[in-house]
Chain A
Amino acid sequence: MRKASQAAERLYLLANLLYEPDLATCQAAVTEFGLAVAPEEILRAYWQTFVNPVGPRLRPVESLFKPWTTFADCQLPLARQKGWLGGDSAAHLRSLYAALGLEVPPGLAHTPDHLALELTLLGLLLEHGTPEMRATFRSQHLDWLPDLQARAAELDVPAVYQQVLELCARAVAPEE
């Protein structure tokens, strides 16, 4: 139980690094994961990677990395394309959060399949769920991280966030 709780805490910390981290979060991450950068540098890297409104930025959102929908009756031209918000994964997770009574922060309301939320949900499943639930969630919603890492490399995002994504990939790996 203690081990699960610790793993969940690590997931929550990684989630915090992926959405509006503060200096304390960055400091905690440096300590916990042995990141070889100053916390202030992580804040700068976060802005450059995820925020910069005038340039290409990394969007750690599942919908963007999967076909928008698998429903055959959708006739939008984007239906089978990748790269669009609000896809099946977003719609599913929005329903799931509602069913579980989970409240999403306003800034992430349009991306219920943001990696920060998915890591948090996995943490909750570690604390309260069953191995079967976690296996299902991993296989259906956390199978896109290699694509996210490839996109991060393509955009040449700061090394610390490439490292954070690698930590995320390891943290969501199937349980032994």
Chain B
Amino acid sequence: MSSITRRRFLKTGLTTAALLAAAPVLDMRTWAASQEQARVEVVPTLCNGCSSHCGMLAHVKNGRLWKITGHPDHGRSQGKLCARAHGAAFWLYDPDRLAGPLKREGDHFVPIDWEQALDEIAAKLEAVLAAHGPGAVFFAHNPRATGAFYGTRFMHALGAPTTMTHNASCNTSLILAYQAVFGTTPGADLANSKYIMLIGRNPAEGIQTGYSAALARAIEKGAKLVVVDPRHNASAAIATEWVPIRPGTDLALLLAMMNVMIAENLYDAGFVAEHTVGFEELAAAVREYSPAWAAPITDIPATTIARLARELAAARPNCVVDPGWKGGFGANYANGTETARAVGAINALLGNLNKPGGLTFYGAPKLGKLPADKAPDPPKPTLPRGDGAGIAGEFPLAPTAQGLPHVAARKAREGKLRAGIVRHHNPVRNFPDPEHMMAGMRALDLLVVIDTHMTETARLAHYVLPEPSFLEREEVVEAIPGRKGTVCMRTRVVPKLLENTRTFDEIIVALARRMGVGEYFNFTLDELNSARLQPLGITLEELKARGSIQVETPVVEGMPKLKTPSGKVEFVSERFAKAGFNAVPGWIPPRVMPEPARPNSFRLIHGKQGYHSHTSTANIPYLLQITRDHNAERLWMNAGRAAALGIKDGDLVWVRSSLASRQVRVKVTERLHPEAVYIPSGYGNFSPGLTRANGFGLSMNDLVPFQTEPMSGHAMMMEVVVEVEPAGA
């Protein structure tokens, strides 16, 4: 035996006597019996299975997660959790998690310690700031309270104007459009509605449990539910009527329905006269959009369009055209923003604002701020943004609170953006054209990714910094709007499993101190949260103990006070007109259309499944098994079109766009418009660090080119024509 004394991993002064004393504990059966009787603690927190952050109760035994249930006092979850929440619990114990900071060296990563990582990142950020100025630095994230507070504050402290979110691949259209029409994004009171039209929205699969439950309550009470969607989605399964519209033409349907309502005097004239501006312009604009005009565009009979308009109007004001989310028009088509403006306008014609069953304009509990004398805010940057959002000549109307990560990738390729911090966000996988997105990330002098897993974006980073999972970290207090608002926070449910991880606020504060802007972070997370709660009369201790608390919010009965320039609903937008767009909504065709003469030409559309949150949950085997059990990653194709192409259910096909060719198996179905093929949006991960999701399924983003909608700049993720043919043909 070598005489070299090896390291002893278990440092000890162990003796035989000590061992004998502890002998009973050595036997796992004795230990298990001692554990059995321990009390189960219930710790409130917030889910992270999607961006909704539903209230969750974590049941913990002996320091281990034992069960999760819904928090009854949270406005979104209302006591229920979805499958994704139960899947998200797996993240805590996931061996794929990042265990410590990593630094890129050539084409691989090496582990480094935190001090080295933070020192080097700070020095490299300083170098970029010195050479290119703060306009060349960005922060991108999935926007929730912690990232919004610490990330944006850090950027402001550096003078950097560019903070971005994922929304340009989600719902930027709505945000811009409803800002113009209403001054804010409304909700909908589904539960009390007599007539609900969902255009592309699918609460049965794009789940917020409270919203899905409200839809179910409405149906139980006898509401008529009309689902307008090229696909017979899960919400259509419980609908009164499915209207299989040609994809990309929702705007034509809305314009024609408004045409009917105005021509037949079915709209709420009193509401329009009192609370809107621009009605005459709207009436004049929609005069040409008759049901007969819309029928060949939408593939919906003119009689159906007129009937739907009359039915809606007959149910006013207790009816709603759902304001949507990503669904049909959030970030999908060249006419997405215009479609959302038309949704806003038709609801105003129905006079349903703040009426039971109509659009809602609830406020959120008003949170406090840190005292300005002790923790002054950094000045807001005055430099132009680096992603073109809000910039004249680029995307002047694009919402700057969301920004344009796909445009930022182009700016990085052009050398205009040089450094970025990305947190809890995976733009490389979740925006179209991964080669474009990767080229942008690779072009940066410095990319820092803060996440729990080695995502496709993290793989390209110079530094990867690991956060604890959502069940191991405390975060910034959140406020949720509602008839009763919710104030809530994520709490630490169990001790950190991975010791060498740090929370986002810890990382940002450490970087700020190194970069000479620590003065803007001279408070603890507890102090910040206490300040946020102060106006509500709730102590931090109380909120930590209860997790979610419902609070009374001022509810305006009747017409809400709108933050538009006129204070009224604006059918006509001076801002849009000034930017060179239609002042009132008008027809804009989709950017591309399948070629009728080509039997294998389709529009590729996509949507969410109720058990996945885009690609972020595909690595959870509990959820992925649902997909595998049902072969649910398949491409949907209309049965008639499939028969014409000789494609049978389960066949492997090639899907080709101008960008790429991919193989996938087909689900042949009657539940899809003939001109579309549909792919669920939760698959196609290609990071080997996601060991279970890697290589599974297909992402639409592989096939969609980098492109931008002119109004809001979103990614137009359904503006793609593909050709489908049997593999091997």
Residues of A whose CB lies within 8 Å of any CB of B are: 6, 9-10, 12-13, 15-16, 19, 24-25, 28, 31-32, 51-56, 59, 61, 63-64, 68-71, 73-78, 81, 83-89, 91-92, 95-97, 99-110, 116-117, 120-121, 124-125, 128-130, 133, 136-137, 140-141
Within 8 Å CB of A64, what residues of B?
A: 95
CA distance A133 to B20 in the complex (A): 9
Q: A96-B22, A124-B14, A133-B23 are in contact. List 12 more A-B contacts (CB 8 A).
A: A15-B9, A28-B2, A32-B1, A53-B109, A56-B688, A73-B61, A88-B28, A95-B31, A103-B12, A106-B500, A107-B500, A121-B10
Within 8 Å CB of A89, what residues of B?
A: 28
Closest residue on chain B to residue A20 by CB atoms: B7
Give per-residue flags for B1-17: 1 if the beta carbon is below 8 A from chain A beta carbons, else 0.
11010111111111110
CA distance A102 to B90 in the complex (A): 29
CA distance A125 to B22 in the complex (A): 12
User: B47 at the A/B interface (Cβ < 8 Å)?
Assistant: no
CB–CB B10/A53 < 8 A? no
Binds A, one of B63-71, B201-209, B387-395, B708-716: B63-71
CB–CB A96/B687 < 8 A? no
User: B459 at the A/B interface (Cβ < 8 Å)?
Assistant: yes
Within 8 Å CB of A68, what residues of B?
A: 93
Within 8 Å CB of B23, what residues of A?
A: 133
Closest residue on chain B to residue A98 by CB atoms: B25
CB–CB B26/A136 < 8 A? yes
CB–CB B11/A78 < 8 A? no
CB–CB B98/A24 < 8 A? no
Closest residue on chain A to residue B501 by CB atoms: A110
With most chain B CB atoms within 10 A of its CB, the pick from A6, A52, A74, A81 is A74
Number of B residues with CB within 8 Å of any CB on chain A? 65
Within 8 Å CB of A110, what residues of B?
A: 99, 497-499
Closest residue on chain A to residue B497 by CB atoms: A110
Residues of B whose CB lies within 8 Å of any CB of A are: 1-2, 4, 6-16, 18-20, 22-23, 25-28, 31-32, 35-36, 40, 59, 61-68, 86-87, 89-90, 92-95, 98-100, 102, 108-109, 111, 454, 459, 464, 497-500, 621-622, 687-689, 691
Q: Which 7 A-B pairs have the closest CB atoms?
A: A84-B93, A75-B67, A103-B11, A102-B10, A55-B688, A28-B2, A12-B6
A96-B22, A102-B14 known; A54+B689 contact, CB < 8 A? yes
A77-B622, A96-B22 known; A16+B6 contact, CB < 8 A? yes
Within 8 Å CB of B18, what residues of A?
A: 100-101, 128
CB–CB B1/A9 < 8 A? yes
CB–CB A128/B10 < 8 A? no
In the assembled complex, the CB of A151 is this many whole angstroms from the nearest CB of chain B, namely 12
A71-B35, A77-B87 known; A86+B497 contact, CB < 8 A? yes
